[in-house]
Structure 1
């Protein structure tokens, strides 16, 4: 029996799923088999995985996660995914195997009558110039084509090295640089004509009020899943950020 009224849409991001964190995986699988059943839609706004080096990585762990999505979509729940900075290589094969629809990095949806911009959030961190240069390189289609020509085991090593380097680099950056740039938020919302934005990436769950083109607007930031699960629950009435304990 569904836990929510039929008119409910759920948003999650920054789970960073990996075989090294079975507590996060167990919470996610429980969420998929209970709360996500019978809702209008589930949106995953990036960094579902700690690392994704190609759709051909058929490890038992990845198969388990893909199976959870397949069961949900087979039961009539539309699932949508926007790439994050950790899993931007998720592709068509993943979509075909799970039934999850891949969305553009900036997607506007009608959320119960409110035009809402959905994105991972890393494109808003314009003060982090080093990261933006890195992002431009790894999103280059030719570089990705070359990467996919490498054997899986080499890609895994490269991915681990990039993940380690990223963690070390982030330790030296200020919190202001790693957060979104307020002016960029307003610019993007004004350009796309929306007064509501939902994103992840910064791991700072909150609801921010702002002004866009002289009108009230809000930016909802999703939480990560490092210490507990984090879910945004939206209904025609409002949106509410909630947490979920790892232990049932």
Structure 2
């Protein structure tokens, strides 16, 4: 009995090493598991389900192979791929979940999310997030030809990288009070998220009770997987060279 969690792969055709590691992970490690959860930023950028590039087809086929084998796969949108929609879900068999979802992990209610909504000190990003999640703005964006959306996506990615270099690590990390508030409102003592690229297990207190916040790692330098079983869990890495090629 095993459930796997991954996030922040930032897959793109520009990083074949990450792609190779991911594809090997999907082929070798998902067989017979209870579920796979992807907590956002699977892709470096997603501009619409109509982008049928060979690279995207390859990734979608990997998911379809897993879901066709009977393993359920779940996805929560990240800040880079929040435009993944119903067509992607149909073509992959992946179930799209709300941005804050509670799952039962072998008897333990657990709140799962991407994590960007917890970074409340980053007010500039939160304003940006509110705009791009506006349904009308998204409707207008999808009316544009694919090539224009690709240009806009590239520009947004470049601007994001430049802006983040100027921000302090504290601003880009989660706000402790927001973590406690969200967990208390959800009535859970365990949270799993990504986004910050700081894999760790934090022992905290929520509503006077011991709790834990598990942070998933990114896939920039190596693969990162949370392996969760009834007897316990562990954050593990996958080396690009030996494990994933």
TM-score (norm 2): 0.98
- Residues 75-118 of structure 1, C-alpha deviation per residue, up to 9 Å, x if partnerless? 01000000000000000000000000000000000001000000
Tell me how far apart the structure 2 counterparts of residues 237 and 85 of structure 1 sit (CA, whole Å): 32
Equivalent residue, structure 2, for 1:23: 17
TM-score (norm 1): 0.97
- SS of structure 2 residue aligned to 1:210: strand
Tell me how far apart the structure 2 counterparts of residues 205 and 60 of structure 1 sit (CA, whole Å): 31
Equivalent residue, structure 2, for 1:219: 213
Equivalent residues in 2 for 1:50-89, closer than 5 Å:
50-89=44-83
Equivalent residue, structure 2, for 1:4: none
Tell me how far apart the structure 1 counterparts of residues 54 and 158 of structure 2 sit (CA, whole Å): 23
Tell me how far apart the structure 2 counterparts of residues 237 and 210 of structure 1 sit (CA, whole Å): 21
Corresponding position: 1:150 with 2:139? no
- Residues 34-81 of structure 1, C-alpha deviation per residue, up to 9 Å, x if partnerless? 011110000000000000000000000000000000000000100000
List alignment gaps of at least 5 residues for structure 2.
none
Tell me how far apart the structure 2 counterparts of residues 34 and 56 of structure 1 sit (CA, whole Å): 29
Pairwise CA RMSD: 0.3
Tell me how far apart the structure 1 counterparts of residues 124 and 98 of structure 2 sit (CA, whole Å): 23
Equivalent residue, structure 2, for 1:103: 97
Corresponding position: 1:203 with 2:205? no
Q: CA deviation at 1:180?
A: 0.1
Equivalent residue, structure 1, for 2:182: 188
Q: 1:173 aligns with which of 163, 167, 175?
A: 167
Tell me how far apart the structure 2 counterparts of residues 64 and 101 of structure 1 sit (CA, whole Å): 18
Equivalent residue, structure 2, for 1:141: 135
List alignment gaps of at least 5 residues for structure 1.
1-6
Tell me how far apart the structure 2 counterparts of residues 213 and 13 of structure 1 sit (CA, whole Å): 28
- Residues 197-219 of structure 1, C-alpha deviation per residue, up to 9 Å, x if partnerless? 00000000000000011100000
Equivalent residue, structure 2, for 1:164: 158
Tell me how far apart the structure 2 counterparts of residues 44 and 37 of structure 1 sit (CA, whole Å): 16
Tell me how far apart the structure 2 counterparts of residues 227 and 40 of structure 1 sit (CA, whole Å): 27
- SS of structure 2 residue aligned to 1:104: coil
Corresponding position: 1:117 with 2:111? yes
Tell me how far apart the structure 1 counterparts of residues 62 and 208 of structure 2 sit (CA, whole Å): 43
Q: 2:230 aligns with which of 222, 236, 246?
A: 236
